[in-house]
Structure 1
């Protein structure tokens, strides 16, 4: 009887411990179950950030995680990653964001190349036949009211453009606003085929909306960009399956541009567009997941 009572007590104790373990959301190793984990993506106010972030979000959710998005400018996204508040950023432009990487290099991981060979720089409408190089702007700044339109003040590209203007000795002032504000000015000037100078990059619907050209730059202030996935250094240990997926990430720039058109021009819900890409590219998704 004594043995029976001890055995019964042990069985009850094991069941109680199992129940407590289940309730705490931890497996036998003591780590939290992935279903209770949250992955946070940083989202900048650029149209190019949305498609890759939404695709990654849906895939990570399918892996059993909760996903949150934090909207911020690029500088604050990098700060958030360095503090561990943001796990991943799908749209880091290098070398434009090199200063952020160097500043927080001990806390960040350059995880994958999303796509490369991306053009960016000073842009004018194609009807400006005599302006093809940044050097062609010298002495013609008054055509543009001595203004060049850029994006938000805190963007890395803003500082590069200021250096470019100074380095080329141009009598220009950079006028900073949101991406939408900048493009509103472009629309206003191109409607009547007036001169306008602004920041342009691919992938972006601006090249679908307007007939544009990126100016050549002999001094190479903007190298052709590579768009990379950056994660905080803790992600690899905290969520190795998510890190492995993101380390295998890649997507064609043409696909991103087409998705931007669907979202921005056609008004399709971003997650619908992202799910359609996943459905049509299951082989790429499987490869990124290591299947």
Structure 2
């Protein structure tokens, strides 16, 4: 009987040690540092990732950065996760970092079905501004301006190159840099006055339902085919998945749809805290956790789904 008890005890101890071995990722994995670039879509998805991580017992930190600085931070080890690599528009920006092995792009996109190119209010398209080739014809009505977003953004770089190369006859145009919010204010002003405006547009984004907009044709050489059809990828340091396997599994599972992101972004743009928005959305859609947390535990090796449900108030 004593030998049976001893064997049982050894078995329990072995199981406990195995569980503890899984839980003991390096202490560096306890804090997960996310890059955030000031876009509502990345704010929304980062809010979800932070909420899930916190529910699993990790600590999180959000680091505001431009796109190039986000990639630089991942390479230098100051940032662990960037959920906002839009391909192909950011390809030229990320190329130096992938070429020297400084960052790793996770193989499965966290979003498919996105698009990113220049757009106009639909009344401007109906007046004849339907393509990239038409922009120069409307130079006077547009006051020679194209509205971009924050400095250093990949879309701004593409616009700037078009202007410098006089592509589509845009050599005398000026790009107006501000921010996502600033660009939307300019769009709102133009719509109120029924004036034409050319601006960076993308989906998912509530601008597609808040305004009647039309994406310009003919920009395949700049933004890619199908109106800048895009996929969004997650970027981590090259060794991150090996060092922090549990978080790595979560990041590989974390995939969104255009519909999900649009729902999240609408509230983010309404100045609500992204993690609060994420908690409310997960609470209303708990079935998504079966996919997002498949094979994922808490930091200390416990049931991940149960922990996150408790964290969001389920």
| TM-score of the two chains, using structure 2 as the length reference | 0.78
Match in the other structure for 1:131 = 129
Match in the other structure for 2:244 = 239
Measure, in 2, the Cα distance between the counterparts of 1:90 and 1:63: 19
Match in the other structure for 2:113 = 117
Q: Deviations over 1:4-47 (max 9, x none)?
A: xxxxxxxxxxxxxxxxxxxxxxx779955669721100011111
Measure, in 2, the Cα distance between the counterparts of 1:40 and 1:287: 23
Instruction: Indicate yes or no: 2:150 matched with 1:148.
Output: no
1:230 aligns to what SS in structure 2? strand
Contact persistence 2:48–2:274 (CA under 8 A): no
Match in the other structure for 1:10 = none
Query: How many residues end up aligned between the 2 structures?
Result: 264
Give how far 1:63 is off.
2.1
1:80 aligns to what SS in structure 2? helix
Match in the other structure for 1:83 = 76
1:35/1:278 Cα in 2 relative to 1: closer, same or farther (>3 Å)?
farther
Alignment of 1:31-110 (within 5 A): 37-105=30-98, 106-110=101-105
* Structure with greater helix percent: 2
Measure, in 2, the Cα distance between the counterparts of 1:245 and 1:28: 18
Which has more radius of gyration? 1
Measure, in 1, the Cα distance between the counterparts of 2:286 and 2:268: 21
Contact persistence 2:104–2:238 (CA under 8 A): yes
Measure, in 2, the Cα distance between the counterparts of 1:198 and 1:61: 37
Give how far 1:216 is off.
1.0
2:109 aligns to what SS in structure 1? strand
Measure, in 2, the Cα distance between the counterparts of 1:29 and 1:284: 24
Q: Is the deviation greater in 142-151 or in 277-286?
A: 277-286
Measure, in 1, the Cα distance between the counterparts of 2:216 and 2:238: 37
In structure 2, runs of 5+ residues without a counterpart are 1-19, 296-314
2:294 aligns to what SS in structure 1? coil
Contact persistence 1:119–1:214 (CA under 8 A): no
Q: Deviations over 1:107-128 (max 9, x none)?
A: 2111131112322211111111
C-alpha RMSD of matched pairs (Å): 2.2
Q: Deviations over 1:73-118 (max 9, x none)?
A: 1111111001010000112111122123211111211113111232
Find runs of 4+ consecutive structure 1 residues off by over 3 angstroms.
27-36, 280-283
Measure, in 2, the Cα distance between the counterparts of 1:103 and 1:81: 13
Considering Cα pairs closer than 8 Å and 6+ residues apart, tell me whether 1 or 2 has the greater RCO: 2
Match in the other structure for 1:179 = 180
Give how far 1:234 is off.
2.5
Instruction: Indicate yes or no: 2:246 matched with 1:251.
Output: no
Instruction: Indicate yes or no: 2:283 matched with 1:279.
Output: yes
Match in the other structure for 1:11 = none
Measure, in 2, the Cα distance between the counterparts of 1:238 and 1:110: 16
1:36/1:226 Cα in 2 relative to 1: closer, same or farther (>3 Å)?
closer
